[in-house]
Copies of this chain bind each other. A is one copy, B any other.
Amino acid sequence: MTYESLKASIRDIPDYPKPGIVFKDITTLLKDKSAFRMAQQALTERYRSVPVDLVAAVEARGFIFGGALALTLGCGFIPLRKPGKLPAESLSEPYALEYGTDEIHMHRDAVLRDQRVLLIDDLLATGGTLSAAARLVEKAGGVVAGIGVVIELAFLEGRHRLRDYDVFAVVTYDSE
C-alpha cells in the first residue's frame, strides 16, 4: 500500500520559518480524520510485528503520533523533551542547529538496559534531532528498535546520518 495520497492533506507554507524554506504543515493532515487515521495506520502496520518495549517520541509534534502508537502496540511511552521540561534526573544529548546547538533530554530511569525503543517523530529533515535521540536511548543502555516518521525530506539526506538504524517514513519528498 502506498500512502502518497496523504500528501494532498499536507499544506506547504512558503518562506516559513524563513525565506526560501517550504514548511510542511501537518496540522491540515491532523484535522482531516481520514488522513490522520491513514498516517497512523501506516506506522502501525510497519511496526506491528517488530519487537518493541517502549515508544519514545520527540517533543512536541512527535507526541501526537508516538503516544497513539505506543497504545496500539501495547508499549509504554517516553517523552523526549527540550531542556528544562523534565522534573527528574535526566540525560541529555546536544544536536546542531543552523546557528548554535540545542539539546534533547530524557529521564535517566526511562529506559532499562536492553529494552527495545522505537523512536517516533513527525518529520525527518537533516536527522540531527533523531540522531541525538538515538544516542540518548543508547546512553541509557537501550536498543534503538527503529526510527519512524510521518514525513521525510529526502533531499536533506537525514537518512544518511541515521544509516546505523532502520528508518521508515510514511511519505517522502524528494525535492522541495
Question: In the assembly, what is the distance between CA of A32 and CA of B76, in Å?
Answer: 5
Q: A33-B76, A37-B74, A61-B63 are in contact. Are A27 and B86 (CB under 8 A)?
A: yes
Q: Is the CB of A67 within 8 A of B75?
A: no
Stretch in contact with the other chain, from A9-17, A96-104, A128-136 = A9-17
Question: Which chain A residues numbered 46 to 67 have a C-beta less than 8 Å away from chain B?
Answer: 54, 59-61, 63-67
CA distance A74 to B78 in the complex (A): 24
Contact of A79 among B64, B67, B70, B87 (CB under 8 A): B64
**Which label, helix, strand, loop or mixed, suits the secondary structure of the A interface?**
mixed
The bracket for how many chain A residues form the interface is 35 or more
Which residues of chain B are within 8 angstroms of A81 by Cβ–Cβ distance?
Answer: 60
- Whether B70 pairs with A63 at a CB distance below 8 angstroms is no
Contacts known (A67-B68, A77-B36); A17 close to B60, Cβ less than 8 A: no
- Is A25's beta carbon under 8 Å from chain B? yes
Separation of A59 and B87 alpha carbons in the complex (Å): 17
Inter-chain CA distance A68–B40, complex, in Å, is: 10
